[in-house]
Amino acid sequence: MRRVTLAMLTLLLITSGVLAQVTLTAEDIPNEPGSVSWYYVEVDTATGDTLGIPVVISQPGPDQEWDFTTGNFQTIARDSLFDPSTTAYADSFPTANRGQVSEVFFGLGFGDSELGRFELLNEEGWGLVGLTVAFSIGGGPAPTIPLGFEPALPITPFPVEMGDSWTLTDTLETMYEDSSSGAEFLIRFEYGGFSSADAWGNATYEGGASECLRVRTSFGGTLNVYPIIFGFPSPIPIFTQDFPASIAYNWFAPEVGVIATITSMPGEEEEVFDEASSIRRRTLTPTSVGETVGEMPSRITLAPAWPNPFNAMTSVRFNIPAEQVVRMAVYNLLGQRVTLLADHRFAPGSHQLSWQPVHQASGLYLLRLETGNELHTQRLLLLK
């Protein structure tokens, strides 16, 4: 019998009559390249049932109190901001003026890949103009592919307050050419959903507290990759990934960013659900993350992955003394790359990435970290 409680995150609705309506504008969104946000992350890893992480979501409404100081976690995620104009994808997303490295957007992730988010932030709103994501096409290596959104996928309009809502429905199409084979592909991402600012109040998290606005987003879609044959896309895709519609609650705090994210189980239809697939909780004082926050490393190091051996997910931390491009990938014993965890510029400091294999079989794998002039490796043992 499964544990009754993996984590119980209680969100209390208390009418205090003290706070005023929370309104967010562009000035409230952090946009300093090199800034870092830390999150405790709990992911539902149980198989064989449909139960998730038990949660209690408060009803929509004003003047609420939320407590995110307690709960379980399996790993610690680090979201970092970068300047899009300094990356190799500056020409692909020329309008982007805010960049963020994260594992998720709208509470969703693209498989095992860490995402490069290219965003447009101005007085009219905050939108996603592009993603860089790695996924394997036809079972081959997983290249990093830029996906552009035109028009921008709205994260939130400005100013935004409780009662505002907006839609997220569109179809993205982009061409991709494999540099090694010369093969061309059409990538089509059909997505749909909507967002609504449904509550405001005050949130307490580890190391801080802030007024915040809660935004509920329902989002899902299907990603298809079609080979180009004699100049035309094949009617049959060679790669398909479904993202069943999920509901994600994000708590946005002025000048702080996202305080917490709670994502429902896939296919959830109830807005106030009680089973979550993942929880991210902001912390200003992360624990058990290896190197002390704020202490700058003097050389490139790759810490041992933990846990290792592992079953569902393993995390690895690396340290770099200066801003630089870092590529981290996992290979099988045949030398074939099975996933690309990162291939972009990182700020100096300590970073953590996670690998959550879905289709890989049990066995020994090799983790490679490459910088401009250094190579670090270690073995990973997957046991299913």
Task: Give the residue from 283, 315, 342 where a domain finishes.
Answer: 283
| Domain co-membership, 224 together with 112 | yes
CA gyration radius, the chain: 21
| Domain co-membership, 139 together with 256 | yes
| Domain co-membership, 138 together with 180 | yes
Q: What's the pLDDT tens digit per position in 59-92? A: 999 999 999 998 887 777 778 888 999 888 889 8
| Domain co-membership, 248 together with 376 | no
* 291 inside domain: no
| Domain co-membership, 138 together with 262 | yes
Q: How far apart are CA 17 and CA 38, in angstroms?
A: 31
Residue type, 82: F
* 355 inside domain: yes
* 213 inside domain: yes
* 316 inside domain: yes
| Domain co-membership, 317 together with 271 | no
* 135 inside domain: yes
Q: Output the pLDDT for position 55.
A: 94
* 118 inside domain: yes
The pTM of this model reads: 0.70
Q: Output the pLDDT for position 68.
A: 93
* 4 inside domain: no
| Domain co-membership, 212 together with 278 | yes
Number of domain units in the chain: 2
* 292 inside domain: no
CA nearest neighbour of 98 among 16, 6, 13, 29:
29
Q: Output the pLDDT for position 77.
A: 78
| Domain co-membership, 21 together with 129 | yes
| Domain co-membership, 101 together with 180 | yes
Q: Output the pLDDT for position 372.
A: 81
Q: Output the pLDDT for position 292.
A: 36
The two structure tokens encoding residue 85: 């104009």
As beta bridge partners, residue 278 has: 43, 263
As beta bridge partners, residue 65 has: 202
Q: How far apart are CA 70 and CA 319, in angstroms?
A: 28
Q: Output the pLDDT for position 142.
A: 54
| Domain co-membership, 194 together with 339 | no
We report the CATH number of the domain holding residue 314 as: 2.60.40.1930
| Domain co-membership, 240 together with 312 | no
| Domain co-membership, 174 together with 92 | yes
94-to-88, 152, 378 alpha-carbon distances in Å: 11, 12, 37
* pLDDT one digit per residue (tens) for the chain, 384 residues: 333 333 344 443 333 344 578 999 999 999 988 888 888 888 886 645 567 899 999 999 999 999 999 888 777 777 888 899 988 888 989 999 999 988 777 776 655 556 789 999 999 999 999 988 765 554 444 567 788 888 899 999 999 999 999 999 888 888 888 766 788 999 998 999 999 999 999 999 887 899 999 999 999 889 898 999 999 999 999 888 888 889 999 999 998 899 999 999 988 989 999 999 999 999 875 443 333 334 445 688 888 888 888 887 888 888 888 878 889 999 988 888 998 888 888 877 778 888 888 788 888 899 999 988 888 988 898 887
Give the structural domain span for 192: 9-283
Task: Give the residue from 226, 254, 283 where a domain finishes.
Answer: 283
